[in-house]
Structure 1
Amino acid sequence: MTESLLRRYFIAVAGNIGAGKTTLATRLASQLGWKCYLEPVIDNPYLPDFYADMSRWSFHLQVYFLSKRFQNQIDIEQDESSCVQDRTIYEDARIFAQTLRKRGFMSDRDWENYQALFASMAGQLKRPDLVIYLKSDVESLVKRIAQRGREFEKSIDTDYLGDLNQAYDQWCAGREDKLLVATIDTTSGADEEEVFSEALRLLKTKLQIELPFKHV
């Protein structure tokens, strides 16, 4: 049995709201026989309040996501299976919390507290072997958000999505967290099958994973 079949892998799917992360993460996990760790969205008690009043609830929401993502990664590290994670803890801090601060929705005091909390958590965690970033344009994001029909997401404005896209581009270019990031650009209208095929290709070329296979 080759080395790629024996070792455990930890990959993550990154991207903006409505980029198709959950769809890709779920499908990759099913194809490879890996465990899938999804983002805690549906049961999040802060999201509806946050979209109604970002200034009041931004810190609460980001701390909630941070704590859930931290526990998520602890579970991944203790899992004996290879795993796919839907969004990373690094995105919480570098993309979402930072964008909220720049837009004036998080105070300097809350930002400094949040950053200290993130630094203490991130320093204890294993980095993903590969992060697949789904790059998407705002128009496509808005379309997907509307299609999934979550009531609390109806108030998301396009400027916010655009700012998040800019933050993602800067994060991927900066490599601040020393992550191996591979981008799948869906702005030209790539469909689900094309995205899935490209993700499999990236796993094979970046991590030398032999595909297809089931690894438990």
Structure 2
Amino acid sequence: MKQHQVMVSLGSNQGNRLALIESCIDLIHNEVAVVVKVSKIYETPAWGFESEPFYNCVLLLHTSKSPQKLLNQLLKVEKKLGRVRNQVAEYQPRPIDIDILTFDEDVVATETLQIPHPLLQKRMFVLQPLLDLDRNWVHPVLKKSIVQLVAETEDTSVIQAVHTLDSPIEKLALQPFNYIAIEGNIGAGKTTLASKLAEDCNAKLVLERFADNPFLPKFYKDQSRYAFPLEMSFLADRYQQLSDDLAQFDLFKDFVVADYHIFKSLIFAKVTLQEDEFRLYKTMFDIIHKEMPKPDLYVYLYQNTTRLLQNIKKRGRSYEQEIPAEYLEKINQGYLDYIKTQTDLNVLIIDVSELDFVKKQADYVFLLEKIQQATLSN
């Protein structure tokens, strides 16, 4: 599921304005939502009242939160930075001001929140940084482009670009890695993390086509009968998909994130196949494996078996509901045994048993930092 794209404005005209803006960006990214892009920071006159000039910018956020939940958490960030909102109608100086400008192409009208922001088109200190981030944005109510809104606004305020900041995502600088494979047991969250990482970092995404395999439901009902055709079909499909998908990219220039690595085929086959079947299977696998490019970073998400079973139940695939704990433990051991033997593969193991990187922004940031540390030590 794709994340929401949200534009948020920041403003400050008290204290160390730049430091407050930077602290606000860090707090939002670490506690609320992924900060993907930051516009230039502009010095602008106070709008609607007499006061010291402001520093203003606009952020592009990625989040799975609802508009109201996002607003509530942004207000907490304001409070942490010293903003006291009161019932006074007049504009006032403030250390930090956060406003949600846009939320996808949605129109929201509640007592506490209006999206798009009702004054957006009247404020040059919002329009110019919004133009920095997305020249193609169209106001969902006025049906006018951001370029038109800038040209038509009656706000003649003189605004000046004073600083340029990288977003926290841009600071990650995951080079020299161009190809990252994220692996894990059934239900570990590898597809969720790969999808989110690719979206946030503007990477090419390669997802395993597991749902199309006709042998999978049959295998869970009768493993001994369907294990060999299942593993052979998975191997053929993974080889075909990786060959097709990776061939589209320049692995020296593009950034590619995959939710599997071809070696998972051998790991699962070793658990599911009889000894003579596995020997035949491995012969085929070794031929295929030689042709596959190796990822620059192999991330293994470890989940304890109890949590795996909870995740499997939650996602509700009928054919997975009878998977025994013993099978999951064998798969996990297979991965760990494989990892121990890979002397020329850059491996990062992360225990995610106590993490929820979908609902808790701090947990996701923790994973990003682990991946960044792996790039720095490379």
Output the TM-score relative to the length of structure 1.
0.84
SS of residue matched to 2:227: helix
Q: Which letter does structure 1 place at the counterpart of 2:228? A: F
| Runs of 4+ more than 6 Å apart | 4-8
**Alignment correspondent of 2:341:** 174
Q: Alignment identity in percent? A: 34
**Alignment correspondent of 1:165:** 332
Name the CA shift for 1:161/1:121 in 2 (closer, same or farther; >3 Å). same
Instruction: Note the 1:24-63 alignment, pairs <5 A.
Output: 24-63=193-232
Greater relative contact order (CA < 8 Å, ≥ 6 in sequence) = 1
Instruction: Note the 1:9-24 alignment, pairs <5 A.
Output: 9-24=178-193
CA contact (8 A) 1:62 1:97 kept: yes
Q: Please tell me whether residue 70 in structure 1 is matched to residue 243 in structure 2.
A: no
Q: What's the offset of the Cα at 1:112?
A: 1.6
Q: Measure the CA separation in 2 of the matches of 1:169 and 1:8.
A: 23
Q: Please tell me whether residue 184 in structure 1 is matched to residue 356 in structure 2.
A: no
Of 53, 67, 90, the residue aligned with 2:263 is 90
Name the CA shift for 1:136/1:71 in 2 (closer, same or farther; >3 Å). same
Q: Measure the CA separation in 2 of the matches of 1:126 and 1:148.
A: 31
Q: What's the offset of the Cα at 1:166?
A: 1.6
Deviations 1:112-166 (A, max 9, x none): 2210111001101110000111001000000000000001001101111111122
Q: Measure the CA separation in 2 of the matches of 1:5 and 1:168.
A: 25
Q: Measure the CA separation in 2 of the matches of 1:207 and 1:8.
A: 7
Q: Which letter does structure 2 place at the counterpart of 1:54? A: Q
Q: What's the offset of the Cα at 1:198?
A: 3.2
Q: Measure the CA separation in 2 of the matches of 1:13 and 1:37.
A: 10
CA contact (8 A) 1:50 1:57 kept: yes
Q: Which letter does structure 1 place at the counterpart of 2:350? A: I
Please give the root-mean-square deviation of Cα atoms over the aligned residues, in Å: 2.0
**Alignment correspondent of 1:113:** 280
Q: What's the offset of the Cα at 1:57?
A: 0.8
**Alignment correspondent of 2:17:** none
SS of residue matched to 1:51: helix
Q: Measure the CA separation in 2 of the matches of 1:36 and 1:159.
A: 31
Q: Which letter does structure 2 place at the counterpart of 1:118? A: F
Q: Measure the CA separation in 2 of the matches of 1:17 and 1:146.
A: 11
Q: Which letter does structure 2 place at the counterpart of 1:83? A: V
Return 117-126 or 73-82, whichever deviates more: 73-82
Which runs of 5 or more structure 2 residues have no equivalent in the other structure?
Answer: 1-172
Q: Measure the CA separation in 2 of the matches of 1:64 and 1:202.
A: 34
Q: Please tell me whether residue 140 in structure 1 is matched to residue 140 in structure 2.
A: no
- Structure holding more helix per residue: 1
Q: What's the offset of the Cα at 1:199?
A: 3.2
Count of aligned pairs between the two proteins: 198
Which runs of 5 or more structure 1 residues have no equivalent in the other structure?
Answer: 101-105, 210-216
Q: Which letter does structure 2 place at the counterpart of 1:184? A: I
Q: Measure the CA separation in 2 of the matches of 1:70 and 1:38.
A: 13
Q: Which letter does structure 2 place at the counterpart of 1:92? A: S
- Structure holding more strand per residue: 2
SS of residue matched to 1:68: helix
Larger radius of gyration: 2
Output the TM-score relative to the length of structure 2.
0.49
